[in-house]
A and B are shown apart, each in its own frame.
Chain A
Amino acid sequence: MARKLSVTALVLLVLVAVALPADAQKGPIKIGFLAPVTGGAAQVGKDMVNGLMMWLEEHGNQIAGRKVEVIVEDTQGQPNIALTKVAKLVESDKVHVLAGGLFAHVGYALAPRVDQLGVPMLYPVMAADDLTQRKPTKWVVRNGWTSSQPNHPFGEYVAKTLGYKKVVTVAIDYSFGWEQVGGFQKTFEENGGQIVQKLWPPLGTTDFAPYLSQIKRDADAVFALMVAQSALRFPRQYQDAGLKARLPLLGGGTTFDEFVLPSLGDEALGAYSALMYSAALDTPINKKFVETYRKKYGKVPSYYSEVCYTTGRWINDAARAVGGDVENRESFLAALRKVEVPDAPRGPVKLDAHGNPVQNIYIRKVEKKGGELWNTVIHTYPAVGQFWKYKPEEFLKQPVYDRNYPPCKAC
């Protein structure tokens, strides 16, 4: 009886503690970080957390003279869970700034909620195009990229330099896949190429057989956009279906990201992709970053690690600009939008007028060096913005890329 009562009392106490508004004293700067720590994208989530933590640890867990507290919440890669967690971080933990998140559709789902909550949130990973295009949001600061950004130059590169004329796309069926394919298709077709088929396996697909057997064999190459665990499965199955020998494999940056390369074998060799980062990037800053990261976590950093590492720096620079007064959300937000990082591991980064980073895009090729797979950088497009060579106002007149835009005329 007494035990039951004490348990009840304990539960009540916990509830009251949660219900009571927390003290708004000037304590540490609190960063609420969203990442899929469990589920099919857990590896990516780990890279994200590691990236941020590494920057903070390198800087004594201090920002603008204040201690930093990071609260990591697990989204399991699912939008509905992310929605609950973001509210919890703001309303219960009283964080000063939010960051992280994975998957473009989670980004779209979160944006209105973040605006409602009125706390700045950095999107280092979630690349949903429209959030810095047709549906700008006040409180989301994108320091990552738009899904189509690397593929505008890539489409041109594939058509002009690699000289492929007919390409089949196999992309994961959600906004990130749609926008990646859309960006690729636009510039590829404007440079004389043709998309001849579009296949859309759902998110989380691990058996690609039903899609692989449909691929038109008379194409010149296949563009594959994979994420999370799909990236782990696709190249091998592509090879086993006898396709690698006939149709060279191209990919979005996440298809051959460093998070998955150690798990792949020779089936990935020779694949081309485009992204704003490669661990093989030959600059002193990046070499040091890769070396330190590797020593600390026992693996090569992925793009997810890099963008979250730079996110630490981003928050720091903005907090310094406002003299550590992150409680003043409006001015902190304004400072976050003004950050420029001239020397991130991935290269120089600054935001354009619409709030999306202008940064280098690297064309990479998977090669074997010292028994490991690396994304060798074979070409650099400097200072690429989300609108590529188009005028923003012209570009914004077209609808956001989706499954059916640009329409597939040659399918």
Chain B
Amino acid sequence: METFIRRAPRAAALVAAVLLLALPPFVSSFMLSLMTQALVWAMLAMSLDLLLGYIGLASLGHAAYLALGAYSVGILTTRHGADFWTSLAVGIAVAALGAAVFGLVALRATGVYFLMITLALGMTVWGLANRWVSLTSGDNGIAGVPRPRGLPWDVSGALPFYYLVLVAFAVAFVVLWTVVHSPFGKTLVGIRESESRMRTLGYHVWLHKYIAFVIAGAAGGFAGVFWGYYNGFVSPADAELATSVEILLMVALGGRGTLFGPVLGAFVIVLLRNVVSIYTHRWLLILGAVYIGTIVYAPEGIIGMARDWLKARARAPLRPAPSP
């Protein structure tokens, strides 16, 4: 039984990986585009998880990095004919720079205040996207972003593009996984548990938070680059407050502090949004219920629920199935 508990998550992850790798050629083009979309949101959710799950900082401005990455792609490809690598590098750099500036302001606060400051900072990016018309085209958004150019193989088709995003996702996952399992990551968790203890132990708490903040921003920008390419379109909606809250939901729904959880959360929300809205126009009602339901029934997210369930199973010997 013990081994089962330890193995179950690994087995689940393996199955998921195989599905992500092998399923796409056989699904409909609609499903394929949803999976691509979900992978992009999964990257974004993971990047926020670094803050929320590992340092305990809830940011209400994470959509800003998505927008910074996406706008970099939009502007560079449509006006300067930039190739994939240039757009990617600039997108990450701009988002990291944004995070480096925002971090200076935001990390002076914690808790509710951190939430509010990141909200205001996120709104500055939204404001620029909306009104700096000569750069961003304002409400028009930037249309006609081409599929990535300058890669050794052609990714203009939906399937090759999916695999490109899958590779990007794998890279993001490995990088973030390495970060959170490094001594640096362990220190972050220590800070989450008790900032003062870590300070007494001689850790530079602020610097750790700051570095994590910038990494999260850069990773958000990384996701934003692929969002721009995926959508072929960038608009102020990418930077909206509602987008930021939705990323938070993905992390919380899946289970924060696990990296896997946010991925799961992103897939659930993207699929739910697109599948449920086929059957009903009352999709917002359902999304609202998901928000509330997550907090009421699964405060530790789906992964947390699964963990509890596995533990409960391990403790109790196998019971015969209850008769109907």
Chain A residues proximal to chain B, CB less than 8 Å: 1, 14-15, 18-22, 37-38, 74, 78-81, 83-84, 87-88, 91-92, 105, 108-109, 111-113, 173-175, 200, 202-203, 403
Contacts known (A14-B275, A20-B28); A173 close to B143, Cβ less than 8 A: no
Asked if A87 and B133 make an inter-chain contact with CB atoms under 8 angstroms apart, the answer reads no
A113 vs B146: C-alpha distance when bound (angstroms): 11
Taken together as a complex, chains A and B put the C-alpha atoms of A182 and B30 apart, in Å, by 39
Q: A303 to nearest B CB, angstroms?
A: 22
A21/B235 in contact, CB under 8 A: no
Contact with A along B88-99 (1 / 0, CB 8 A): 000000000000
B160 beta carbon closer than 8 Å to chain A: no
Scoring B138, B232, B284 by chain A CB atoms within 10 A of each residue's CB, the highest score goes to B138
- Contact present for A112 and B143 (CB under 8 Å): yes
- Given the contacts A18-B30, A91-B29, A109 and B233 also touching, CB distance less than 8 Å: yes
The answer to whether B274 and A88 touch across the interface, beta carbons within 8 angstroms, is yes
Please report the C-alpha to C-alpha distance between residue A305 and residue B139 in the assembled complex, in whole angstroms.
25
Which single member of B27, B140, B322 contacts A108 (CB below 8 Å)?
Answer: B140
Most buried by A among B233, B235, B284: B233
Determine which residue in B28, B30, B33, B130 has the highest number of CB atoms from chain A within 10 A of its CB, and name it.
Answer: B30
B151 at the interface (CB under 8 A from A): no
Q: Which residues of B contact A (CB under 8 A)?
A: 27-31, 33, 37, 130-131, 133, 138-141, 143-144, 231-233, 235, 237-238, 271, 274-275, 277-278, 281, 284, 322
Cβ–Cβ < 8 Å partners of A84 in chain B: 37, 274
Q: Check B281–A80 contact: CB distance below 8 A.
A: no
Residue of B nearest to A20 (CB): B28
- Contact residues in A for B231 (Cβ distance below 8 Å): 80, 83
Check A80–B138 contact: CB distance below 8 A.
no
User: Is A21 touching B33 in the complex (CB atoms < 8 A)?
Assistant: no
Contact: B139 with A174, CB < 8 Å?
Answer: yes
State the CA gap A91–B27 with chains docked (Å).
11
What's the nearest-Cβ distance from chain A to residue B123, in Å?
Answer: 14
* Complex CA–CA separation, A79 to B232 (angstroms): 11
Further pairs besides A18-B28, A173-B133: 17, Cβ < 8 Å = A14-B275, A19-B28, A20-B28, A38-B284, A78-B235, A79-B141, A80-B235, A80-B237, A83-B231, A87-B33, A88-B274, A88-B278, A91-B28, A109-B235, A175-B140, A200-B133, A202-B130
Q: Is the CB of B281 within 8 A of A74?
A: yes
Q: Which residue of A lies closest to B234 (CB)?
A: A80
Q: How far is the CB of B35 from chain A (nearest CB, A)?
A: 10
When A109-B143, A173-B139 are in contact, do A79 and B233 touch as well, CB less than 8 Å? yes
Q: Which residues of A contact B130 (CB under 8 A)?
A: 202
Chain A residues, Cβ within 8 Å of B30: 18, 87-88, 91-92
**What are 28 A-B pairs at a CB distance below 8 A?**
A19-B31, A20-B28, A21-B28, A74-B277, A74-B281, A80-B231, A80-B237, A80-B238, A83-B231, A83-B232, A83-B233, A84-B37, A87-B33, A88-B30, A88-B274, A91-B28, A91-B33, A105-B141, A108-B143, A109-B143, A111-B143, A112-B144, A173-B139, A174-B138, A174-B140, A175-B140, A202-B130, A403-B133
